[in-house]
A and B are shown apart, each in its own frame.
Chain A
């Protein structure tokens, strides 16, 4: 490589922190998708990971508009605070938000409920999501999944290929080296893209603090009526009633994830801001999913099964 023959005056630049390095990587991924696909979408649930994704998209594309719409697959089991936040944030950004609902899929008979079994809408939203992808002919869909969340995710590529049925084949993933992504697809196939694959829960909180990102209030400590079931604190709502023999108690809690109200548990916490959560997360002894997702406890491989079928 040629050495410089010019004595350029060098301004000294400070090395990137680990958070800046992760940010730079994520922005690169967002831009690759924008440049390589005609039709892409960003899944925005109003949850903290997708809120971080929106900030990353601002960093990647401003002052221009996002080159993709935001899409939310509404389970109608969402916390109202989260839905309010979702709509407000999309409006603030001036970006287009497409909402498709599981309820509609149920009404249209696209999904049949299986009483008694996995009644969570995590599984049901797969169909609604795949329908939305087909409807808009999306070629690439951004998700906010992280590899530290779960074992199956730890192996997933950043550009994760999905076949015509939206399915992921963990044994047949495209090799992904350096930062060279292969987004080539045939009609009907698509790519799930995970720009924050390499972030951890703690990184997310640090970023929320650093960027002063607003997030739905239920992420912070608040008083709430809960029942204690299988060791988890489950929020009482119109969708979740105490079972016979269960006692409803009021606790100061916060949510680590904000998914389906019927199966998202909260944790006892006094953390009222991002910094307090960072302190708590740094010493947390339970993974985000373990602490808050009832459906993943059913079996060790339940996430992998869902993903094979087209889950985020």
Chain B
């Protein structure tokens, strides 16, 4: 038995509650005491036949208003599947609830009242389902009993719906004519609509193919915590967000870029040879590399984007509107970083899908934005991977969850992207170059750094590494043009070059100072053999070539430059 999560959306009175009640009731998911409570309330409301909609009516405040206002979860099962329903209201002010319900759903049921046909609300529901990446949409054309079970009416609604849903990039929806009240085509076939030959609703829910194991998707394992009962055991625990991992796989730890091999996949029930999303596992690695919460383990040939700036769609969920000047916390996988919404390109009208310029986003508004982060995140486009393409924004002062975001495909040039990274993001460039980007800061009062730099640059280039020496002579003309201080220009330049996938070698002073270059991108090499650095070499008695060899070997051993240097070991460097 597997699991299908679906959400339901419909406007008030479309019959959503009745439909869910019908599904629960006809699949025997309702208990007698719940029915009794319904029977009691039905009497109070004097609403005629057993009102199945009351089965799904939750909180007191809502009962008083007579409408559902939040997301509620319902459960039922048939012999072949367990179902989790995220029951969400459909009126405009509750876009946030619909998005919440849709975020975990594999399928969405959009209700349409056969009498009224496709309304603005139907568009909105469909748009939100598409925005939240739901692949299967069922359009339940309800209350067919009130349109004389008319095939023509149903046909009209289908063509109206297809006329707009095509623009949304939604896979072909499934249309089912039904009567939630009377049960036609929900669980039992309809004698009133012999012209309909498609699946019954429940039958469709039972048979629709859900994302199975995404064994071919790129591996994404966000590390939640390190399990360390004793010195001999260091387990990296997390739930596989995508892909498959196996014992013996080489994995890269982001952001450091360090590598190791999977020694064990440990679970309480014994070790596994392989595991796939969405399993929760604990990995033990062959080497003692530094891995902590917020890091992500991936395969070297399938890197996510590692970015500090990205485009996304944002659903605003807080009464306090978006403030472009304020920092927010970006919660992504097991990571939280500070960031800002740097740009609001436009607002997207959920009803008309029109784009309008806007200064802010209010509750339940959707916008196209660019985020800018203090530290990098490792992202995929939401369309490729929900778990690594989704994030929420938290207000650091109120602690409220203020927005939900979906990461866009980033490959296309965006206005405002710094030159040099316009067409390809860093992750793409690193993949094409076949190694990660970093800055090598050579530190030390040595008259020989220039010679060491040249030697390193030459040897790296020979190995096919995109290396570039950035020394004072290189930066000086730029500093002159921009009339800025040389160190500032150098740092900005080196940052851009690293973003563009290069290995930058530089002996400019102060690069390793806190707050200058991102520590994740920086390897400090001290040539006087002392002090705080990733690598310290006393070069007094060494030739330039010997120094370069030491540095390259160290980089290769640490896995810093991926395949290039590892292959090269013993072959002349």
> B218: which of A2, A15, A23, A171 is its contact (CB, 8 Å)?
A2
Determine which residue in B249, B331, B401 has the highest number of CB atoms from chain A within 10 A of its CB, and name it: B401
Nearest A-chain residue to B212, judged by Cβ: A15
For residues 386 through 424 of chain B, which have their beta carbon under 8 Å from a beta carbon of chain A?
386-387, 390-392, 394, 396, 399-401, 404
**Pairwise interchain contact A177-B61, C-beta atoms closer than 8 A:** no
Residues of A within 8 A of B61 (CB): 170-171
B239 touches A27 (CB 8 A): yes
Answer whether residue B278 sits at the interface, using C-beta atoms and an 8 A cutoff: yes
Question: Is the Cβ of B1 less than 8 Å from the Cβ of A147?
Answer: no
Instruction: Kindly provide the distance from the CB of B59 to the nearest chain A CB, expressed in whole angstroms.
Output: 5
CA distance A257 to B225 in the complex (A): 34
Asked if B60 is at the interface of the complex by the 8 Å CB criterion, the answer is: yes
The answer to whether B387 and A178 have CB atoms under 8 Å apart is yes
Contacts of A155 in B (CB 8 A): 58-59, 70-73
Q: Which residues of B contact A290 (CB under 8 A)?
A: 31-34
Instruction: Please report which residues of chain A, range 254-312, place their CB below 8 angstroms from some CB of chain B when the two chains form the complex.
Output: 284-287, 289-291, 300-301, 304
| Chain B at the A interface: SS class | mixed
Residue among B77, B99, B217, B331 making CB contact with A180, cutoff 8 Å: B331
Q: How distant is B42 from chain A, measured CB to nearest CB, in Å?
A: 13
Q: Which of B109-132 contact A (CB under 8 A)?
A: none
A23 to B84 CA separation, bound complex (whole angstroms) = 15
* Residue ID in chain B nearest A173 by CB atoms: B70
B-side contacts of A107, CB under 8 Å: none
Assess whether A64 is in contact with B278, with CB atoms less than 8 Å apart: no
Contact, CB under 8 Å: B239 / A1: no
Q: Which residues from chain A contact B394 at a C-beta distance below 8 Å?
A: 182, 184
Residue B302 at the chain A interface, CB threshold 8 Å: yes
Residues of chain B within 8 A of A5, CB atoms compared: 301
Q: For the complex, is B75 an interface residue (Cβ under 8 Å from A)?
A: yes
* Whole-angstrom CA separation of A23 from B2 in the bound complex: 13
Q: Judge if B279 is at the interface, Cβ distance under 8 Å.
A: yes
What's the Cα separation between A186 and B394 when bound, in Å? 14
A200 and B24 alpha carbons, distance in the complex (Å): 14
Query: Once the chains are docked, how many angstroms separate the CA of A151 from the CA of B63?
Result: 12
Least Cβ–Cβ distance between A25 and chain B, in angstroms? 7
Q: Enumerate chain A residues within 8 angstroms of B384, measured Cβ to Cβ.
A: 1
Chain B nearest CB: distance from A296 CB in Å?
Answer: 9
Q: Closest residue to B279 on the A side, CB-wise?
A: A24
Contact between A2 and B431, CB atoms less than 8 A apart: yes
Cross-interface CB contact of A147 among B32, B73, B293, cutoff 8 Å: B73
Q: Flag whether B459 is at the interface (Cβ < 8 A).
A: no
The minimal Cβ–Cβ distance linking B559 to chain A, given in whole angstroms, is: 16
Asked if A286 contacts B33 (CB within 8 A), the reply is: yes
The minimal Cβ–Cβ distance linking A274 to chain B, given in whole angstroms, is 17
Interface stretch of the complex, out of A39-47, A54-62, A215-223, A236-244: A54-62
Beta-carbon contact of B225 and A200 below 8 Å: no
B213 touches A300 (CB 8 A): no
Output the nearest chain A residue to B396 by Cβ-Cβ distance: A184
Rounded to whole Å, the gap between the CB of B353 and the closest CB of chain A is 22
B237 and A60 form a contact (CB under 8 A): yes
Q: Is B280 an interface residue (CB 8 A)?
A: yes
B246 and A11 within 8 A (CB)? yes
B229 touches A65 (CB 8 A): yes
Taking CB as reference atom, which chain A residue is nearest B266?
A63
Tell me whether A202 is interfacial, beta carbon within 8 Å.
Answer: yes
Least CB distance from A17 to B in Å reads 6
A284 to B279, CA, bound (A): 31
Q: Is the CB of A2 within 8 A of B31?
A: no
Contact with A along B1-32 (1 / 0, CB 8 A): 11100000000000000000000000000011
Whether A184 lies near B399 (C-beta < 8 A) is yes
Asked if A90 is an interface residue, CB under 8 A from chain B, the answer is no
Q: Which residue of B lies closest to A28 (CB)?
A: B239
Does any Cβ of A come within 8 Å of B244's Cβ?
A: yes
B528 in the interface (beta carbon within 8 A):
no
CB-CB under 8 A from B40, the residues of chain A are: 300
Q: Could you tell me if B229 and A64 are in contact, using CB atoms closer than 8 angstroms? A: yes
Nearest-Cβ distance from residue A161 to partner chain B, whole angstroms? 8
The 9 sampled A-B contact pairs (Cβ below 8 Å) are A11-B273, A21-B2, A28-B239, A152-B59, A155-B72, A178-B387, A178-B392, A289-B33, A301-B60
Return the 3 tightest CB-CB contacts between A and B, nearest first: A290-B33, A177-B103, A27-B280
